[in-house]
Structure 1
Amino acid sequence: MITLEKLTKSFPGNPSPVLALREVSLEIDAGSLYGVFGPAEAGKSTLARCIALQEKPDRGTVRLDGLNTAALDGRRLREVRRQVAVLNPVLHEERTAAGNVAAPLEQLGVDGPQRRSRVGRLLDVAGLTQRAAQRPGELTPGQRRRVALARALVSGPAVLLADDPTAGVAPEEAGGVLAVLDRARAELGVTVLLTTQDAGVVRRVCDEVAVLDAGQVVESGALLNLLATPHSRIADTLLPAVETPRAQTAGYERTADVVLIGFAAVGALLPEASTRFDVELATIGGGLTRVGDTPVARFRVGVRGGQADAALAWIGDRGAHVTRLADGPKRLVAA
């Protein structure tokens, strides 16, 4: 587990210091794929460097599996740093893909057979077994990034920090890069921390997320839980918009925004409520998306019938988040 306790970091500035992190506290579970999401200059890269022990915070503590890293120096600090790999996208142009992945093992003095076995395994994780003999100039930007990830993982770290892992990679190749991060977590047991400005990256691979803005954590937690949380910033970013004209809602006794998570809820909950309470229940806005492998919907629904309130309450009782709209879509009343 990675534990951050009131982490604060500033840099010299003119006329006053620039505060990059402001009392950031987080817990990142071992084996998770954790995303730090936010706009440019939110402090994401500074946070990653502090966790990698490349930057020392002004105040606060970074703990790795309970170990206070501020108390480390010399040999012990170097040992702990080796457990935290950092994605470096720059490759050695004169080396093959396999040669790039092997470089950290050569520096550690790992013998030839063991080195070849480990390199082969990581090229497989990166989906690049057939590209092992090619040099970086022969690879696409996405393939190059996957080589860099394999190199970061080859020495067996406990933690991988990937600062903006899809930067400079075309959208059609970004999925391959994210698949390597997912396999590193699932197959190698590595705790993966990534930073990104791209909400699509969070949607596709993250279990948990922290939203960082101006150096502060504005919300954090399990991603699917946040999507069902009222006024969540990450939910507003990831879920389909639900704006509808006022005239479209006028013919219903009740209107509400409903967030449904999971196959059963998305596929059956609204039709079952309609049948059970003998109401007309129409989807008049919103849509469906996917978070990892989980379908998530945010619909604006109109309900007509004598048991409209009971139908909405029943939907909420079965795990959906229901926000009723009073006097049109501008006034929200949480159910």
Structure 2
Amino acid sequence: MITVENLSKSFPLNGNPVVALRDVSVDIQAGSLFGVVGPAGSGKSTLARCIGLQERPDRGVVRLDGLNTGTLDGRRLREIRRQVGVVSTKPELLAERTIAGNIASPLEQLGLDGPQRRNRVGNLLDLVGLTPRAGQRPGDLSEGQLRRVAIAKALAAGPSVLLADDPTAGVQAEESGAVLTVLDRARAELGVTVLLTTPDAGVVRRVCDDVAVLEAGAIIERGTVLDLVSDPNSRTAQALLPAIETGRAQASKYDRAVDVVLVGFASVGALLPEAAGRFDVELATIGGGLTRIGDTPVGRFRLGVRGERADAALAWIAERGGHVTHPVRGPQGVAA
């Protein structure tokens, strides 16, 4: 488990301190895939470097499995650093070495013998889906493939934590999914705790369990992704859920219009039709749509509601996990 307590960090600029992190506190569960999302300059990379023991904070503590890393130096600090693999946006690969050779280089430094190295490299090439490319050199690969090689190299020494700083930066859209899949496989198959930073909320939607939203060096929102999207007012929900656009004429056909967020297969597939039948009301989808958070379907819909027992139907939906908001009567139920 990674625990960050009241972390602050600043850097000098023209003789004046520029604050990168302001009293940041967050817990990252072991074995999770945790996303830190925010715009450029929000402090994401600085937070990753502090957790990776590449930067020392001005104040605050980073704990790895309860160990206060701020008390470490010398040999002990180097030992703990080896437990953290780092993937930067500019992979450090040797152009003259093959892909397999690049992945093997950390193992050579550790003194592993040939058979052990070959076995480990083969397993990592399989994990990142690049076994056919083992004998090629970095210059022969695309940016997305290079990023996957960098992940394999960072995993070679068997770290317990993997930091991926904006792992899809500069990667073509059609290849970014493969990079994210590799990070997910590292978490699922190797048990590695993965922390990724990104300005793209879509990356969080695809692979993250938990998320922290950074703005101007401070965390303004954190929690599990599914919990946050269940709150339509959260930054995460606003970034990830389908937009709702409803014309005035369309909404005016109903007694009222409400917004509802449904999470999970059962809710998305059955809750609305069951409520309509049980309470003899009309629940018509007049806006919104479906998305997925990882493997979980999530819907945000604007419903046109008609019927005497509408209030009971909406309360029943809420009792069963639906999140009903913005009850607006008559033609006012249009998209804001």
Could you state the TM-score of these two structures normalised by the residue count of structure 2?
0.96
1:158 maps to: 160
1:32-87 deviation line (CA, Å, top 9, x unaligned): 00000011110000000000011111100000000000111111111100001101
SS of the equivalent of 1:155 reads: coil
1:65 to 2:57 alignment? no
1:325–1:331: 8 Å Cα contact kept in structure 2? Answer: no
1:79 to 2:75 alignment? no
How is 1:190-209 mapped onto 2 (pairs within 5 angstroms)? 190-209=192-211
SS of the equivalent of 2:16 reads: coil
1:142 maps to: 144
Shift of 1:230: 4.1
Aligned counterparts of 2:37 and 2:333: Cα–Cα separation in 1: 29
2:251–2:334: 8 Å Cα contact kept in structure 1? Answer: no
Aligned counterparts of 1:90 and 1:247: Cα–Cα separation in 2: 58
1:254–1:308: 8 Å Cα contact kept in structure 2? Answer: no
Aligned counterparts of 1:269 and 1:320: Cα–Cα separation in 2: 8
1:186-219 deviation line (CA, Å, top 9, x unaligned): 0000000000011111111000000001001010
1:31 to 2:31 alignment? yes
Q: Structure 1 residue aligned with 2:103, among 86, 101, 104?
A: 101
Aligned counterparts of 2:295 and 2:121: Cα–Cα separation in 1: 29
The one-letter code matched in structure 1 to 2:121 is: V
Shift of 1:331: 10
1:182 maps to: 184
1:269-318 deviation line (CA, Å, top 9, x unaligned): 11111111111110011010111111111000011000111111111111
Aligned counterparts of 1:257 and 1:76: Cα–Cα separation in 2: 54
How is 1:278-317 mapped onto 2 (pairs within 5 angstroms)? 278-317=280-319
1:125 maps to: 127
SS of the equivalent of 1:12 reads: strand
1:219 maps to: 221
2:261–2:299: 8 Å Cα contact kept in structure 1? Answer: yes
Aligned counterparts of 1:325 and 1:246: Cα–Cα separation in 2: 15
Could you state the TM-score of these two structures normalised by the residue count of structure 1?
0.97
Aligned counterparts of 1:260 and 1:92: Cα–Cα separation in 2: 49
1:318 maps to: 320
Structure 2 residue runs without a partner (length 5+): none
The one-letter code matched in structure 2 to 1:275 is: G
Change in CA separation of 1:128 and 1:320 when aligned onto 2, cut-off 3 Å: same
1:220-248 deviation line (CA, Å, top 9, x unaligned): 01100110124100100000011323332
Aligned counterparts of 1:175 and 1:65: Cα–Cα separation in 2: 30
Shift of 1:137: 1.3
Shift of 1:329: 4.0
Change in CA separation of 1:180 and 1:196 when aligned onto 2, cut-off 3 Å: same
Pairs aligned (count)? 332
1:172 maps to: 174
The one-letter code matched in structure 1 to 2:48 is: A
The one-letter code matched in structure 1 to 2:16 is: S
1:54 maps to: 54
2:275 maps to: 273
2:245–2:334: 8 Å Cα contact kept in structure 1? Answer: no
2:230–2:261: 8 Å Cα contact kept in structure 1? Answer: yes
1:253–1:308: 8 Å Cα contact kept in structure 2? Answer: no
Structure 1 residue runs without a partner (length 5+): none
1:11 to 2:11 alignment? yes
1:231 maps to: 233
Shift of 1:320: 1.0
Shift of 1:330: 7.2
2:246–2:335: 8 Å Cα contact kept in structure 1? Answer: no
The one-letter code matched in structure 1 to 2:199 is: Q
Shift of 1:90: 2.5
The one-letter code matched in structure 1 to 2:105 is: A
The one-letter code matched in structure 2 to 1:151 is: K
The one-letter code matched in structure 2 to 1:106 is: E
The one-letter code matched in structure 1 to 2:54 is: Q
Shift of 1:117: 0.5
Aligned counterparts of 1:329 and 1:34: Cα–Cα separation in 2: 37
SS of the equivalent of 2:231 reads: coil
The one-letter code matched in structure 2 to 1:128 is: L
2:246 maps to: 244
SS of the equivalent of 1:143 reads: helix
2:84–2:161: 8 Å Cα contact kept in structure 1? Answer: yes
1:254–1:324: 8 Å Cα contact kept in structure 2? Answer: no
Aligned counterparts of 2:324 and 2:16: Cα–Cα separation in 1: 46
